[in-house]
Structure 1
């Protein structure tokens, strides 16, 4: 399965490209764009960040690897999709904020690609609403084990929700097309 580049490599590439977004939010935006039916293109940053002036990532750099791995993971039939988040050595607050930023990015990218009335199942519509609530959340400052468990559950929910929305907007229409 395709592996995402490291959080730090994406952060550095984002700074070098003057993208003005953190790695988690950027990956969320890319995943949302792809899940909403956006095109897999070399110049994805311009589309995903709605700034046509942004240069395309260089072939093989961390941002190009991020695109390629995200496409492969969303298409992976074994549901190997991962969120690009800070490592376990980051504080619980940092990791929680990264999950919420990922959701904000996802919603932006998804909205740009899917438009106002995407073809969502009831479960997909509910997942999108839940993700919108998460995008508005802020972490509490605590480091207890219950919060670690809660964050792990939220991460898993977001991962599955992204796959569900990709299924509704990309895989479902693709399968219906192949049946006709």
Structure 2
């Protein structure tokens, strides 16, 4: 288990409302992770960067959004693959959880594009993963589901989690390793 623990959904949601951010907790976390996976800096003013708005308030030290930044940066760089997505708890409806996952993917795509630029150094596998995340970002949640749908959502969450680590590897870890050997 990683020492980098994400703040709760409710804490992030309350802080986001307090700062009048228009993004859901899932979209905010997706954007933060897209920014980090694309090579963006884990700076205190991350909300301004990932939301591309200099008027957005900077999260206070120790606030839930600051904790989200610190935990996410730690998790995404952790070699134990303990990276998690900030999504609603399992007791929420399938529609709410799948909608949050699709919001997460939308946030991820926008910020990844800003951080990684037009031609990031992606492997074929990463290009396919990014295209799959883009398809998920356009998906719509279904209102009801059964056990099979629950299992499918869990598989999609795991895919997104691994895809983010793969993209981070290509955009951040790969270039770091190449610089060490030059």
Q: TM-score, normalised by structure 1?
A: 0.99
* Aligned with 1:91 (options 93, 111, 114): 93
* Aligned with 2:80 (options 78, 86, 92): 78
Measured in 2, the distance between the counterparts of 1:39 and 1:141 equals 37
Aligned match of 1:129: 131
Aligned match of 1:139: 141
Unaligned segments of structure 2, at least 5 residues: none
Unaligned segments of structure 1, at least 5 residues: none
Measured in 2, the distance between the counterparts of 1:55 and 1:147 equals 38
* Aligned with 2:28 (options 26, 43, 48): 26
Measured in 2, the distance between the counterparts of 1:17 and 1:163 equals 29
Q: TM-score, normalised by structure 2?
A: 0.98
Q: RMSD value over aligned CA atoms? A: 0.6
* Aligned with 2:164 (options 162, 167, 171): 162
Q: In the TM superposition, what is the alpha-carbon distance from 1:130 to its structure 2 partner?
A: 0.3
Aligned match of 2:113: 111
Query: In structure 1, the residue corresponding to 2:130 is in which secondary structure?
Result: helix
Q: In the TM superposition, what is the alpha-carbon distance from 1:115 to its structure 2 partner?
A: 1.0
Query: In structure 2, the residue corresponding to 1:74 is in which secondary structure?
Result: helix
Kept in 1, the 8 Å contact 2:13–2:25? The answer is yes
Would you say how many aligned residue pairs link Structure 1 and Structure 2? 180
Deviation above 6 Å: which 4+ runs of structure 1? none
Is 1:42 paired with 2:44? yes
